[in-house]
Amino acid sequence: MAAMIEVDGLCKRFGAIQAVDDVSFTVERGEVLGFLGPNGAGKSTAMRIITGFLEPDSGTVRLEGVDIRDRPIAARQNLGYMPEGAPSYHEMTPLGFLGFIAGIRGFSGSEAEDRIATAAQQTQLGSVLYQSIDTLSRGFKRRVGLAQALLHDPEILVLDEPTDGLDPNQKHEVRTLIQEMAANKAIIISTHILEEVDAVCSRAIIISHGRIVADGTPEELKSRSERHMGVAITATRETCRQLVADLNALNGVRQVELEPRGLFVKPVRGSDILDPVRVLVRQRGLSVADIRLEMGRLEDVFREVTIPGGTGPGGTGDRP
């Protein structure tokens, strides 16, 4: 069976800027794909092409096997999309707005009412249903946009920064909601909040300057970090000084770095140095507060792959 979302060789150029550059991937049912990338990397443009709002210069998008350009209306029937900024008609109330969406989606009567009630409940809009959207807080506006995308219980969901502007509790709720729905849908969310990837995504793609620069599960991506399988030692400055030389001499150690609260031992890729480090510390009879294995941080990988020329603090991946 074809994948739910098939994206093949998308390219899109705006004047001199190559906004999307040969992007290909597929998303299967049950997957939550995280779209990561610096601001202006082409995430929103790619999503606009996938949902058929923009036409690519080349490449194809198929939703459940239906080409979005050949049969746009059919392809969108089973698609829920929340565009960047969660636009909605601000003069309407959430109830009126969702009623409009329900009508467009072909629901009427009690079925429409049920759909609206469910979507409002999922996004916790109950308290503001009769207030004009204009007067709502940013978090509520975002949830109105989310409710609109969920209303017809689509099998394909594309959400552009679904948790932007929400407070931590609301973020948690939206993430839980996405996780609950994930089993029988194919979902793409874009975000620049890396913890979100850990929280909800089964797979992540990092985009920079329109290109895919990394693609894998959050664990796979983390394993690309140079801190992956590294050992953090929390100890006093004096203890650290005594340890450095010996640690450097250990087999499998690539580099030892002094950090504010102790040491960080980076391994040669693929070697497990936790036990040797522990043994060494015990042999030297030194007391340390903590020895901990690190799995690497997405943040580091993100910086490595999106900042040209390494992980230095200068420069960003942003486009003008």
Partner 1 sequence: MKVIWILFRREFVSYFVTPLAYVFIVFFLGLLGAMTFFLGGFFDRGQADLAPFFAFHTWLYLLLIPAISMRLWSEERKTGTIELLLTLPVSATQAVIAKFLAAWAFAAIAVALTFPFWITVNTLGEPDNGIIVAGYVGSLVMVGAYLAIGSCLSSASKNQVIAFVLAVLVSLLFTVSGTPLVLELVSGWAPVLVIDVIAGLSFITNFEAISKGVLDLVNLIYFLSVMALFLFVNIVLVNLLKAR
Q: Which of 2, 30, 65, 89 binds partner 1 (CB under 8 A)?
A: 89
CB of 13 to partner 1, least distance (A): 11
d(CA 122, CA 213): 34
Structure-derived torsion over alpha carbons of residues 89, 92, 94, 100, reported in degrees to the nearest 10: -80
Secondary structure class of 292 (helix, strand, coil): strand
> What's the half-sphere exposure (Cβ side, CA atoms, 13 Å) at 194?
15
Q: Which amino acid is at 239?
A: T
Q: Measured from the CB atom, is 68 or 277 closer to partner 1?
A: 68
101 binding partner 1? (CB under 8 A): yes
Is 30:183 a contact under the CB 8 Å cutoff? yes
Identity of the residue, 145 or 262, whose beta carbon is nearer to partner 1 in the bound complex: 145
Q: Distance between CA 309 and CA 263 in Å, rounded?
A: 26
Q: Based on the shown chain and the rule CB under 8 A, indicate whether residue 70 belongs to the binding site for partner 1.
A: no
Task: State the nearest-atom distance from the C-beta of 141 to partner 1, in Å.
Answer: 11
The one among 72, 165, 216, 252 contacting partner 1 by CB under 8 A = 72
Decide: is 79 part of the binding site for partner 1 (CB under 8 A).
yes
The reply to whether 59 sits near partner 1 by the rule CB under 8 A is no
For residue 79, which of 99, 105, 100, 54 has the smallest C-alpha distance? 105
* Pairing verdict, β 262-267 and 230-234: antiparallel
Question: Near partner 1 by CB under 8 A, which window of 89-97, 179-187, 211-219, 231-239?
Answer: 89-97
Of 24-53, binders to partner 1 (CB under 8 A) are 48, 51-53
3-state secondary structure 259-299: ECCEEEEEECCCCCCHHHHHHHHHHHCCCCCEEEEECCCHH
Interface with partner 1 (CB under 8 A), residue from 17, 18, 59, 85: 85
Site for partner 1 contains 252 (CB under 8 A)? no
Q: Which of residues 102-131 bind partner 1 (CB under 8 A)?
A: 103-106
DSSP for residue 54: S
Q: Which of 1, 16, 73, 183 binds partner 1 (CB under 8 A)?
A: 73
Strands 203-208 and 211-216 come out as antiparallel
Question: Rounded to whole angstroms, how far apart are CA atoms 24 and 40?
Answer: 19
**Interface with partner 1 by CB under 8 A: which range of 73-81, 222-230, 242-250, 265-273?**
73-81
Total number of residues that touch partner 1 (CB under 8 A): 33
* φ/ψ of residue 89, rounded to 5: -80, 105
Distance CA 258, CA 239 (A): 12
Q: Is residue 81 a contact residue for partner 1 (CB under 8 A)?
A: yes
Among 2, 58, 90, 195, binds partner 1 (CB under 8 A): 90
Closer residue to partner 1, CB minimum distance, 101 or 240: 101
If the CB atoms of residues 92 and 250 are measured against partner 1, the closer one turns out to be 92
Distance between CA atoms of residues 247 and 277, nearest Å:
7
164 Cβ neighbours under 8 A, 6+ residues apart: 142, 191
Residue 71 contacts partner 1 per CB under 8 A: no
- 148 versus 225: smaller Cβ distance to partner 1: 148
What CA–CA distance (Å, rounded) separates 295 from 31? Answer: 23
Where does this chain bind partner 1 (CB under 8 A)? 14, 48, 51-55, 72-74, 76-77, 79, 81, 83-85, 87-92, 96, 100-101, 103-106, 132, 145, 148
